[in-house]
Chain A
Amino acid sequence: MITRRIFNSLLLGASTLAYTGVLARPAAAQNTQLLKVAVDSLWQTMSPVTGFATSSARIYCNFYERFTVVDYLADPNGSVVVNQLAESFERDGAVWTVKMREGVLFHNGEEMTAEDAAFTLSDERYRADDAYEPRGATFTEGFIRVEAIDRYTLEIETQSPDIHVPAKLSSVGGIIVPKAYYLEKGVDAFGQEPIGTGPYRVTTFRSGEIMVLEAFDQYWGDAAPVSRLEWHVVPEFAARMAGVVSGEYHVMVGIPTDQEAQLASYDGVNVISVPFSSYAAVAFNTLPDPVDNPLVDARLRYAMVQAVDMDLIVQALFGDTTFHPAVPFNFPEYGEFYEPDLQSNLPYDPDAARALVAQTDYDGQPLIWHITRSFYPNYETAAEIMVAQWAEVGINVEMRVLDNFSMVYQRPFHLMNFGNATSFIPGDPYQPLWMDWNPEANRSRADWKTWAPSADYIAAGARFNSALTFEERFTAFKDLSAAWQEVTPALFMWRQVGSFAVRDGVTWHPAGSEMRMFGGYLSLA
């Protein structure tokens, strides 16, 4: 009998063959075409980890490569991970032996070796006090030794056995950098003149203006489908729209939800919406800071969840393009962890919400909600509806729309907006449930922290992290989720979606939020 797990294993194997190609051929001369993309912004640096942001991560895949990579052609939800620059992984207890692909060249002509791979994950780069890209420590938590054994083999030792190392290396932390060039340039200059092993090489990068990529002739895999790829920064939506309608640009990003139908109505323009690996959310400040914070009472937080008809709001703002996850962390991208029929403990019920409010000492004082202006599409609109629905059950929330996160993070506040990414271990709830909420996470330690993890949560987290089989991990996941819901430090609103406009003649499949312009993702008429 073929079980779900056997099916997933077969799918993973098939994807690996398809992606990396037993049949991969050396890059031949690609057709000489230019593809122009209009983007709302380009992040200021392309240093793989320091520069990790929405507007950089979506284009990294074209010039950087990782140990492993998510195969969105196999599963658009992003739960399938295949090898990319790593050829194989073998685990013996807490030590992983990784065999790297041979004959892979960086864009400067140097061969990629295990030395580069080991440096990529090294203390020097991620975990030392004066690390080049200290955020990398988050992506390599538990790594205690990374060492090149020979030219194409390295060992990764973790504090305790960790079955998720290959999947973790599909994150930006696993983007392999050329050691010598990186050290020669330094992280800032590397971010301006990035070098990777991907199908395109960066020839021009001016963050406020343009990035030009050209097909890399010595790419180890299939040749890039276009010879030149230009990313133009066009901040104004009207200009981007005019550009794609008139044919100046082949692809554009950043379409306001209410403009999608208008854009799709033009001849030669197709609009594609895809789910991203991130959920828009509101965090409740559960701490006694400010001292009179009524949200320290969990019943008031429960009431706030039950007072809001999130399904209706999401339907009104996004139609059928996305959904509200009724149960936190029960997300479809988690494959075997996902239970479609699971019911919420706190369903929409204004009467129950009123009753809960009555049980608390809450006296109607304004609860301040800090929101970053225009950071998440439709967030402010949703917030206005939520404020009205909270008012109906006697909860007085005051929105404060602020210009940036540094202002949002300034206390005092009772609620704040945030986005919880879900993709760090594809197909596994590690990131949103533990990585972003654990006792060491920003949400627990930063100046703007909003919760203190409970003893139950920490204990379940320990079991969750040490689990070596799916059954153990699934049980711990349920406990961990229950402990989180006991506190309810946040309300997940909707899965974030992105829309792209594409001209006729360009067949393109977005890979979640990534814009892969190669392989099976892009073809031109």
Chain B
Amino acid sequence: MTAQFWLVKLGRMSLTIFVVLTFTFIALRSAYDPAQAMLGPDATQREIALFREKWLLDRSLFEQYLVYIKNALTGNFGMSFRDGRPVVDLIAERIPKTLALGGLSYLIAILIGVPLGILAALYRGSALDRLVMIFSVVWFALPNFFLGILMILLFSLTLQWLPSSGSTTFLHFIMPAAALGLSLAAILARFTRSAMLDVQSKLYVRAAQAKGVSKWRRTLFHALPNAAIPLVTIMGLMLGNLVAGTVVVETVFAWPGVGRLLITAVSSKDMAVVQALVVLIAVSMVTVNLLVDLSYGLLDPRVRSRT
């Protein structure tokens, strides 16, 4: 990994974040008047004027942009219009809940998706393979919110086994994590299967077979490491799906995380919060992409030697 490699990567990351930040700022400021949305339909004209003055919305777009960029560079993303608190504080208190839910969902996706994909590849064309593919199609096709509501109706309303909303106990995790994790597991199972099928026909796997290496050893130590690059790529991309899924699932299950904060901020036109969250998501995605790129080098010596 040369200095040039790092400079190029960091330069691209910075540019991406700057473009996202600028686009979000202009799009939000041009789309609507937050004063009316925040103050409600009964607000007086004077109240609206005072609100605009307080939040600098009476200044030109360019002037607002300069102030915003200047503050953002120092980590100050402004105050929430909704409750007058620093945006960074608002997001910071929601992140742990989202990380906990997202982490568990991701774990479910990997623990279910990867083994199922391997099994489907190993027993290609069998009933097990078809079963895995059916599971994959069904769970991938079911929208998160629909799956979530179905779960609530079954496990909370009918069976009364699990709480319908909230986040205080482990039981509260089960349904939202399953709703999020199972759809990701479905994607991962399909990719794992096709990646494994790709490498299973390679010469080095057949050579291992000729040397008498057992089926499971061939799969785990010869095929899987070579199938890892496309899998790591899709796992990185899955984080984007996870963010989108979190927004929906947190709303359905009243989970007090970042996703629900985003929904609330969008619906109430709390621009400062929306902007900060979009930037946070962008930073997360480019960081994950960078980590995926780095992992290629760890997984494949040929990539390491090229960088």
Chain A contacts to B: CB under 8 angstroms: 38, 44-45, 50, 52-53, 130-131, 134-135, 137-138, 186, 188-189, 191-192, 206-210, 232-236, 238-243, 245-248, 372, 404-407, 409, 418-419, 442, 445-447
| A236 B254 Cβ-Cβ under 8 A | yes
| A243 B36 Cβ-Cβ under 8 A | no
Given contacts A53-B40, A406-B37, A418-B41, contact A246 B164 (CB under 8 A): yes
- Asked if B32 is at the interface (CB within 8 A of a chain A CB), the reply is yes
> Top 5 A-B pairs ranked by shortest CB distance?
A188-B84, A44-B82, A242-B156, A406-B36, A242-B164
Whole-angstrom CA separation of A489 from B248 in the bound complex: 41
Complex interface: chain A residues within 8 A of B260 (CB):
208-209, 235
Considering the complex, give the chain A residue whose CB is closest to the CB of B94: A208
| B254 A238 Cβ-Cβ under 8 A | no
| B165 A243 Cβ-Cβ under 8 A | yes
Add 18 more A-B contacts to A406-B33, A418-B41 (CB < 8 A).
A44-B83, A50-B39, A137-B46, A188-B84, A207-B83, A207-B264, A208-B264, A232-B254, A235-B251, A235-B260, A236-B253, A239-B252, A242-B153, A248-B165, A404-B267, A405-B36, A405-B40, A442-B42
Contact of A208 among B39, B42, B256 (CB under 8 A): B256
Contact of B84 among A38, A53, A189, A245 (CB under 8 A): A189
| A442 B45 Cβ-Cβ under 8 A | yes
- Asked if B134 is at the interface (CB within 8 A of a chain A CB), the reply is no
Considering the complex, give the chain B residue whose CB is closest to the CB of A235: B251
| B83 A246 Cβ-Cβ under 8 A | no
Whole-angstrom CA separation of A44 from B82 in the bound complex: 5
Given contacts A52-B42, A138-B44, A236-B254, contact A248 B164 (CB under 8 A): yes
- Asked if B177 is at the interface (CB within 8 A of a chain A CB), the reply is no
Complex interface: chain B residues within 8 A of A234 (CB):
164-165, 254
Considering the complex, give the chain A residue whose CB is closest to the CB of B36: A406
- Asked if B126 is at the interface (CB within 8 A of a chain A CB), the reply is no
| B149 A236 Cβ-Cβ under 8 A | yes
Whole-angstrom CA separation of A239 from B179 in the bound complex: 14
- Asked if B50 is at the interface (CB within 8 A of a chain A CB), the reply is yes
Complex interface: chain A residues within 8 A of B156 (CB):
239, 242-243, 246, 248
Complex interface: chain A residues within 8 A of B165 (CB):
38, 232, 234, 236, 239-240, 243, 248
| B164 A239 Cβ-Cβ under 8 A | yes
| B164 A134 Cβ-Cβ under 8 A | no
- Name the residue among A134, A191, A239, A419 with the largest chain B CB count within 10 angstroms: A239
- Asked if B187 is at the interface (CB within 8 A of a chain A CB), the reply is no
Whole-angstrom CA separation of A192 from B268 in the bound complex: 17
Given contacts A234-B165, A234-B254, A242-B153, contact A137 B32 (CB under 8 A): no
Q: Using an 8 Å CB-CB cutoff, how does the interface string of B15-49 with A read, 1 for contact, 0 for none?
A: 00000000000000000111111111111111100
| A445 B45 Cβ-Cβ under 8 A | yes
Complex interface: chain A residues within 8 A of B44 (CB):
134-135, 137-138, 442
- Asked if B269 is at the interface (CB within 8 A of a chain A CB), the reply is yes
The smallest C-beta distance from A520 to any residue of chain B, in angstroms, reads 30
Complex interface: chain A residues within 8 A of B43 (CB):
135, 442
12 contacts between A and B (CB under 8 A): A44-B268, A52-B42, A137-B46, A138-B44, A209-B260, A210-B256, A238-B157, A243-B164, A246-B156, A405-B37, A405-B41, A406-B35
The smallest C-beta distance from A189 to any residue of chain B, in angstroms, reads 7
Contact of A191 among B41, B84, B153, B268 (CB under 8 A): B84
- Asked if B261 is at the interface (CB within 8 A of a chain A CB), the reply is yes
Considering the complex, give the chain A residue whose CB is closest to the CB of B93: A206
Complex interface: chain A residues within 8 A of B160 (CB):
245-247
Whole-angstrom CA separation of A407 from B267 in the bound complex: 13
| A134 B269 Cβ-Cβ under 8 A | no
- Asked if B85 is at the interface (CB within 8 A of a chain A CB), the reply is yes
- Asked if B103 is at the interface (CB within 8 A of a chain A CB), the reply is no
Complex interface: chain B residues within 8 A of A209 (CB):
254, 256, 260
Complex interface: chain B residues within 8 A of A134 (CB):
44, 46-47, 50
Whole-angstrom CA separation of A245 from B160 in the bound complex: 9
Complex interface: chain A residues within 8 A of B153 (CB):
238, 242
Give the contacts of B165-182 with A (CB-CB under 8 A): 165-166
Given contacts A404-B37, A405-B41, A406-B33, contact A241 B254 (CB under 8 A): no
Considering the complex, give the chain B residue whose CB is closest to the CB of A186: B84
| B163 A248 Cβ-Cβ under 8 A | yes
The smallest C-beta distance from A371 to any residue of chain B, in angstroms, reads 13
The smallest C-beta distance from A402 to any residue of chain B, in angstroms, reads 10
Contact of B269 among A235, A247, A406 (CB under 8 A): A406
Complex interface: chain A residues within 8 A of B41 (CB):
372, 405, 418-419
| B269 A404 Cβ-Cβ under 8 A | yes
Whole-angstrom CA separation of A189 from B83 in the bound complex: 8
| A191 B37 Cβ-Cβ under 8 A | no
The smallest C-beta distance from A458 to any residue of chain B, in angstroms, reads 19
| B45 A446 Cβ-Cβ under 8 A | yes
The smallest C-beta distance from B166 to any residue of chain A, in angstroms, reads 7
Complex interface: chain A residues within 8 A of B152 (CB):
236, 238-239, 242
Considering the complex, give the chain A residue whose CB is closest to the CB of B155: A242
Whole-angstrom CA separation of A45 from B43 in the bound complex: 15
Given contacts A45-B82, A442-B45, contact A239 B37 (CB under 8 A): no
The smallest C-beta distance from B155 to any residue of chain A, in angstroms, reads 9
Whole-angstrom CA separation of A445 from B48 in the bound complex: 13
The smallest C-beta distance from A313 to any residue of chain B, in angstroms, reads 23
Whole-angstrom CA separation of A44 from B265 in the bound complex: 10
Complex interface: chain A residues within 8 A of B149 (CB):
236, 238-239
Complex interface: chain B residues within 8 A of A418 (CB):
41
Whole-angstrom CA separation of A405 from B252 in the bound complex: 25
Considering the complex, give the chain B residue whose CB is closest to the CB of A205: B83
| B84 A192 Cβ-Cβ under 8 A | yes
Considering the complex, give the chain B residue whose CB is closest to the CB of A266: B157
The smallest C-beta distance from B18 to any residue of chain A, in angstroms, reads 28
The smallest C-beta distance from B78 to any residue of chain A, in angstroms, reads 13
Whole-angstrom CA separation of A245 from B152 in the bound complex: 11
| A192 B83 Cβ-Cβ under 8 A | yes
Q: Using an 8 Å CB-CB cutoff, how does the interface string of B37-70 with A read, 1 for contact, 0 for none?
A: 1111111111100100000000000000000000
Whole-angstrom CA separation of A31 from B276 in the bound complex: 45
Give the contacts of B200-215 with A (CB-CB under 8 A): none
The smallest C-beta distance from A72 to any residue of chain B, in angstroms, reads 22
| A245 B157 Cβ-Cβ under 8 A | yes
Whole-angstrom CA separation of A284 from B264 in the bound complex: 31
Considering the complex, give the chain A residue whose CB is closest to the CB of B253: A239
Complex interface: chain A residues within 8 A of B268 (CB):
44
Considering the complex, give the chain A residue whose CB is closest to the CB of B261: A208
Complex interface: chain A residues within 8 A of B42 (CB):
52, 135, 442
Considering the complex, give the chain B residue whose CB is closest to the CB of A436: B42
Complex interface: chain B residues within 8 A of A232 (CB):
165-166, 254
Considering the complex, give the chain A residue whose CB is closest to the CB of B256: A209
Whole-angstrom CA separation of A233 from B40 in the bound complex: 19
The smallest C-beta distance from A54 to any residue of chain B, in angstroms, reads 9
The smallest C-beta distance from B82 to any residue of chain A, in angstroms, reads 4
The smallest C-beta distance from B265 to any residue of chain A, in angstroms, reads 9
Whole-angstrom CA separation of A151 from B106 in the bound complex: 63
Whole-angstrom CA separation of A38 from B80 in the bound complex: 25
| A191 B164 Cβ-Cβ under 8 A | no
Whole-angstrom CA separation of A189 from B254 in the bound complex: 25
Whole-angstrom CA separation of A234 from B156 in the bound complex: 14
